[in-house]
Amino acid sequence: MRHRKNTAKLGMKSQHRRATLANLVCSLIKHKRIRTTVARAKVARRLADKVVTLGKEGTLAARRLAIARLNVHGPGVLPDKEARQRWHKNEDIIRILFEEIAPAFKDRNGGYTRVVRVGNRPGDAAEVAILEWTSSVVAPVVVEPEKKGKKEEKKS
């Protein structure tokens, strides 16, 4: 029985699971919306909400905890100043979290993400969902039902 067991295993060892979830949340921060399985989306949502709460604190300690939870490293060696600035603007996950996403949720006490189910994946029939931010950080997804059978006719 799994009574009072909060960890979703996701068929992975703990280190693999931690890395996968950190990558999912980093992709969510960078792209504002990700497509993954429902089980992974539900687990990643918990980590994303915790990281946004850290972002709302805005302290140095909160930044360091976010870096540790997301396993984020710097850009490494970049050739010139323009490349560093481009990385800082577009790729710096912690900056995006603390300066763009967390201020959008300053009046909200939780529930920063939503999971929208979009159907099953053709290859393995896994249930797929879109994980996205709930605020004005990103426009909401409109899921259209799939049309079966009838094909659109060409108009001449």
The per-residue DSSP string of 87-123 comes to HHHHT-HHHHIIIIIHHHTTT--S--EEEEEEEE-TT
Predicted TM-score (pTM) of this structure = 0.82
Is CATH 3.90.1030.10 what the domain over 14-133 is classified as, yes or no? yes
Q: Which amino acid type is present at position 56?
A: K
| pLDDT computed for residue 114 by the predictor | 95
Q: What is the pLDDT along the chain (156 residues), one digit of tens a residue?
A: 889 888 889 999 999 999 999 999 999 999 999 999 999 999 999 999 999 999 999 999 999 999 999 998 877 888 888 988 888 888 889 999 999 999 999 999 999 999 999 999 999 999 999 999 997 666 656 666 665 555 556 665
